[in-house]
Amino acid sequence: MKTIIEPFRIKSVEPLRLTTEEERKGLLRDAHYNLFGLSSDDVLIDLLTDSGTSAMSAKQWAAIMLGDESYAGSPSFRRFEQAVRHLMPFRHIIPTHQGRAAEAILFHLIGGPGRKIPSNTHFDTTRGNIEATGAEAIDLPAPEGLDPAAPHPFKGNIDLTRLEAFLRENGDAVPCVMITVTNNAGGGQPASLANIREAAELAHRFGKRFIVDGCRFAENAWFIKQREPGQQGRPVVDIVRDMFALADGMTMSAKKDAFANIGGWLALNNDDLAERARTRLIQTEGFPTYGGLAGRDLDAIAQGLVEIVDEDYLAYRARTNAYIGERLATLGVPIVQPTGGHAVFVDARTWLSHIPPLEYPGQALACALYEVGGIRACEIGTVMFGRQPDGSEKPAKMDLVRLAMPRRVYTQSHADYVVETFAEISGVRTSLRGYRIEWEPSALRHFAARYKPL
Ligand code: F0G
């Protein structure tokens, strides 16, 4: 069979509200052209994020009923801990309410003024948590990761040559080396097992901890299985274990590759660091057997971790993005190649080349997607990254629009509809106009900025 079908059937549905283009134009105007300001009832297909938006399985909902809400020593925690350790063989597994809470605890302990933390690319909350301690977050992506059109199989790799030079130069200032799998900010692109291994070896050679931001670990392992020489015949679970056996710790958002609507964890091997992390956890999140979550959430995560490494699911997951990507490419819509694990990234700067970067081509495309098709996507470009610490503004490296796919939520006909919306926009592409920002908050402006169309 050629068609890779959704490997699930639907037991419970959520109705979608159909709106007209006229209605949507009014709703977007009322939201000051900021898609974060829309009510999700008014969105037909919500591709804003794949985080916390997964459809849980019948078994996950059943596990929810088994959740034990005891303050201490809950069996839900033991099930959660076992499920994590089955994939990620760390000594200490510390639950948190989501990924950024794990980051906040880790960097509270190992960050601080003068410290420098390199990664392939830090996600924005990771960077934020590092910088909040006075430390510096440094991105060292492999050069091929910066060319949207280059079809390299592992564009999420860290640049090992620059990492080595960085470690040599900055010696004592570096408390750990990180790698984000997949590299969300760089287009959902995977890092190869060889690259993860060499980065770990380099870190260890310089006496540094190696920490994996594992949010989309299963998608990364799937790409390793598909693309890395020598990995084809191996079960994804074994590849996952190899990825984490190389590390001294990990941060995780269970809102991604654990099919949960909330949750995360910090895992560590070092006993002393783990003890201090648990103390901080008690101060900020909760007791170490629930860490800011309900017992039932821990059970949902435990079951989600069993399901996320199902290879039929992963094949369908990667195929959905590739399918949309191939059809967009046929329409002449430039996208980041190859398509990543959790999203299709459209190169709005190239497609809407008549809109200068400081008039936000990504925002213009995101608004058009909503007006024309009721689709909500996310600008990842000059709005998100353009404001400089000195108050000036400059174009980001790229102006992308991310179509992030919630897990197990939409079907192929939804995917077809997304492509059809692009086809409609294609006809009026050159008439789209840019935006100017009429108000913005002091930081993270993309969440709250108000725009005016030009
Ligand atoms: N690391 C990566 C690579 C992420 O993509 C995210 C979240 C986090 C850490 C933080 O996890 O949200 O549970 O606190 N990314 C979401 C997104 C928000 O839309 O890409 P969190």
> What's the pLDDT score for residue 397?
87
How many domains does one find in the chain?
Answer: 2
Confirm whether the ipTM is greater than 0.95.
yes
| CA 330 to ligand 1 center in whole angstroms | 31
Radius of gyration of the chain (CA): 21
Mark which of 308, 329, 348 sits at the end of a domain: 308
Q: Which of 308, 330, 361 is the last residue of a domain?
A: 308
For residue 187, pLDDT beyond 90: no
**Per-residue confidence band for 48, with pLDDT thresholds at 50, 70 and 90:** very high
Pairwise CA distance, residues 125 & 447, whole Å: 13
Q: Determine phi and psi for 376, rounding to 5 degrees.
A: -110, 120
**Domain shared by 261 and 386, yes or no:** no
Q: What is the mean pLDDT of residues 341-361?
A: 97
Residue 430 in this model has a pLDDT that exceeds 90: yes
From the alpha carbon of 49, which atom of ligand 1 is closest? 19
CATH number at residue 428: 3.90.1150.10
184 lines ligand 1 (CB under 6 A): yes
Q: Do 170 and 116 touch, CB atoms closer than 8 A?
A: yes
- For residue 391, count CB atoms less than 10 angstroms from its CB and return exposed for 0-12, middle for 13-18, buried for 19 or more: exposed
- The verdict on the CB of residue 120 being under 6 Å from ligand 1 is no
256 and 317 within one domain: no
Whether residue 10 is contained in a domain is answered as: no
417-428 pLDDT, tens digit each: 999 999 999 999
Q: Is the CB of 125 under 6 A from ligand 1?
A: yes
Q: Say yes or no to pLDDT of 114 above 90.
A: yes
Q: Select from 51, 54, 126 the residue to mutate for testing ligand 1; criterion: most ligand atoms less than 8 Å from CB.
A: 51
Specify the pLDDT at position 147. 86
Q: What is the pLDDT of residues 358-386, one digit of tens each?
A: 999 999 999 999 999 999 999 999 999 89
Q: What is the pLDDT of residues 116-149, one digit of tens each?
A: 999 999 998 999 999 999 999 999 999 988 888 8
Give the single-character DSSP code of 279.
H
Q: Which atom of ligand 1 is nearest to the CA of 101?
A: 14
In terms of domains, do 284 and 354 share one?
A: no
Strand-pairing partners, residue 92, are 268
Q: What is the mean pLDDT of residues 68-82?
A: 97
Q: Over pLDDT 70: what percentage of the chain?
A: 100
Q: Is the pLDDT of residue 222 over 90?
A: yes
Question: In this structure, is residue 430 part of a structural domain?
Answer: yes
End-to-end CA distance of the chain: 49
Nearest of 203, 215, 319, 195 to residue 258 by alpha carbon: 215
In this structure, the answer to whether residues 146 and 175 fall within a common structural domain is yes
Note whether 329 and 431 are same-domain residues.
yes
Predicted confidence at residue 148, as pLDDT, reads: 86
Mutate to test the pocket of ligand 1, among 54, 129, 253 (most ligand atoms within 8 A of CB): 253
> pLDDT class for 271, splitting at 50, 70, 90?
very high
Say if ligand 1 is within 6 A of residue 215 CB: yes
Estimate to the nearest angstrom the gap between the alpha carbon of 245 and the chain centroid: 22
Structure confidence at residue 2 (pLDDT): 76
What share of the chain in percent tops pLDDT 90?
Answer: 93
14 is a domain residue:
no
Domain span holding position 433: 21-50+310-453
Mean pLDDT of 229-242: 98
CA of 7 to the centre of ligand 1 (A): 26
Tell whether 274 and 138 lie within a shared domain.
yes
Distance (Å, rounded) from C-alpha 401 to C-alpha 212?
Answer: 26
Residue 1 has pLDDT above 80, yes or no: no
- Given the CA of residue 100, which atom of ligand 1 is nearest to it? 14
Question: What pLDDT is recorded for position 412?
Answer: 94
- Residue of 96, 98, 255 to test ligand 1 pocket, by largest number of atoms within 8 Å of CB: 255
The pLDDT-based confidence of 272 (bands split at 50, 70, 90) is very high
Span from the CA of 180 to the centroid of ligand 1 (angstroms): 10
For residues 102-106, average pLDDT: 98
In a domain, 301, yes or no: yes
Find the 70 Cα to ligand 1 centroid distance in Å.
Answer: 28
Question: Over 80: is that where the pLDDT of 60 sits?
Answer: yes
Asked, for residue 3, whether it belongs to a domain, the answer is no
Give the confidence band of 185 by pLDDT, cuts at 50, 70, 90: confident
Distance from C-alpha of 43 to C-alpha of 34, rounded to nearest angstrom: 13
6 lies in a domain? no
Mean pLDDT estimate for the chain? 96
Residue 216 banded pLDDT, cuts 50, 70, 90: very high
What residue owns the CA closest to ligand 1's atom 2? Answer: 123
8 A C-beta contact, residue 259 and residue 56: yes
The CATH number assigned to the domain holding 298 equals 3.40.640.10
Whether residue 15 is contained in a domain is answered as: no
Query: Could you identify the atom of ligand 1 that is nearest to the CA of residue 98?
Result: 13
Confidence of residue 443 (pLDDT cuts 50, 70, 90): confident
On whether both 146 and 234 belong to a single domain, the answer is yes
Q: Ligand 1, residues 50, 97, 125, 444: which to mutate, most atoms within 8 A of Cβ?
A: 125
* 326 and 356, same domain (yes or no): yes
* Banded model confidence at residue 332, pLDDT cuts 50, 70, 90: very high
Q: Would you say residue 194 lies in a domain?
A: yes
- Please check whether residues 159 and 275 belong to one and the same domain: yes
Over 80: is that where the pLDDT of 274 sits?
yes
Q: Are residues 204 and 276 in the same domain?
A: yes
What is the per-residue pLDDT for 146?
85
pLDDT of residue 389: 80
**Listed residues 278, 308, 338: the one ending a domain:** 308
Residues 290 and 202 in one domain: yes
- Both 43 and 123 in one domain: the answer is no
In eight-state DSSP terms, residue 48 is S
- Residue with the smallest CA separation from ligand 1 atom 18 is 51
Q: Check if 264 has its Cβ closer than 6 Å to any atom of ligand 1.
A: yes
Confidence (pLDDT) at 4: 85
For the cut 90, the answer to whether the pLDDT of residue 289 exceeds it is yes
